[in-house]
Homo-oligomer: A and B are copies of this chain.
Amino acid sequence: MTTHHFKPAHYHTTLGAHEPVLRIADGDSVVTTTLDAAGCNERGEQAGPPGNPQTGPFYVEGAEPGDTLALTFDHLWPNRDHGYTSTMIAANVVDPDFARELPPRERAEWRIDRERGTATLVKPDTRLGAFTLPLAPMLGCFGVAPANGEAIHTSTPGRHGGNMDYRGFRAGVTAYLPVAVPGALVFVGDGHAVQGDGEIVGTGIETSFDVRFTVRVVKGWSINWPRGEDDAFIFTVGNARPLDQAAQHATTEMLRWLISDYGLDLIGASTLLGQCVRYDLGNMYDPAYTMVCKLPKGLLPGR
């Protein structure tokens, strides 16, 4: 179990079968950094292209198509003292006629206090004043190389992960991703210091991050959509439009999980989900939206 310290020299705005920047073993950890969504680093300098540039890809020894990659976020924290958001709600999130009233989107600036763990609105000047929120750092975009030889832009999520913009992908969480190419090819990027459900202004508080993650290859465990777990929940992730289809993907994936790994049949799984399921809205802004289907671990039958 090695911990690799990796300093990125270039970045990608597609998730695809790019040349690996590092080969790591099953169980290894990586300490690295990510740029903000606009391509700026810890000093606020333009260090990569805009559009959620990704650090990686990391080649994980032993990962083969049909396996699942477990990606645990050990540490996610801003590595600079400022971030930005958009000032205006996205037109697709409001009633079409209301969209006609929306002024142009501008850039809001936030001060990040990494010691106290807060973000404070600096500008524009609104009735919110020096509005302060506790940090809740998460990765907006990460994933593995997709199947079928595709290279998918970092604006959108899919079966491979990608730009899910789900605030549940925070430190302590393990994400599961379907391995589609040898080595899986792991990418990480797009840190948000804070983000509401749906990423409805089109941004979280975008900033550069220090990241530490650990990989594990789950041989022969085949999944169709990203999954995850934290202390309290297991969850599945559907990425599609409209939200209905994203919810269908997530729900179907959860049913499959309950049936294959927890010994339930469709009646048992339906009965359990019917009265106990929770859904989170990941993003409702990107080319594909994200719905998350969650179940409290305490309700799971023993494996």
Beta-carbon contact of A271 and B200 below 8 Å? no
Q: A102-B266, A248-B94 are in contact. Are A203 and B274 (CB under 8 A)?
A: yes
Choice from B94, B197, B267 contacting A278 with Cβ under 8 Å: B197
Determine which of B128, B150, B270, B276 lies in contact with A153 in the assembled complex, contact meaning CB atoms within 8 Å.
B150
- CA–CA, A153 and B146, complex, Å: 11
Q: B121 touching A271 by the CB < 8 A rule?
A: yes
Smallest CB-CB separation from A276: which chain B residue?
B196
Q: Write the A278-291 contact mask toward B (1 if CB under 8 angstroms, else 0).
A: 11110010000100
Instruction: Name the CB-closest residue of B to A280.
Output: B279
Closest to A147 in B: B153
Q: A241-B240, A276-B133 are in contact. Are A251 and B200 (CB under 8 A)?
A: yes
Judging by beta carbons under 8 Å apart, are B127 and A263 in contact?
yes
**A268 CB within 8 Å of chain B:** yes
| Given contacts A89-B255, A94-B248, A301 and B127 within 8 Å (CB-CB) | yes
Nearest B residue to A249, CB-CB: B95
State the CA gap A281–B250 with chains docked (Å): 14
Q: Does A252 contact B (CB under 8 A)?
A: yes
How near does chain B come to A272, taking the closest CB pair, in angstroms?
A: 6
Q: How far is the CB of A99 from chain B (nearest CB, A)?
A: 4
Interface residue? A47 (CB, 8 A): no
Say whether, besides A200-B277, A265-B126, A270-B87, A255 and B301 are in contact (CB < 8 Å): no
Distance of A117 from chain B, by nearest CB (Å): 15
Q: Is A124 on the interface with B (CB-CB < 8 A)?
A: yes
Assembled-state Cα–Cα distance A271/B100 (Å): 18
Q: Mark A95-134 against chain B: 1 for CB-CB distance below 8 A, else 0.
A: 1111111110010100000000000010010111001010
Q: Is A22 an interface residue (CB 8 A)?
A: no
- Which A155-179 residues have C-beta < 8 A from chain B? 155
Contacts of A276 in B (CB 8 A): 133, 196
Contacts A197-B279, A272-B128; A150 near B148 (Cβ below 8 A):
no
A273 within 8 A of B: yes
Could you list 10 examples of A-B contacts with CB < 8 Å? A86-B274, A87-B271, A88-B266, A89-B273, A91-B100, A103-B267, A127-B301, A128-B272, A151-B151, A196-B276
Those 4 A-B pairs whose CB atoms lie nearest each other, nearest first: A201-B274, A91-B96, A126-B268, A243-B243
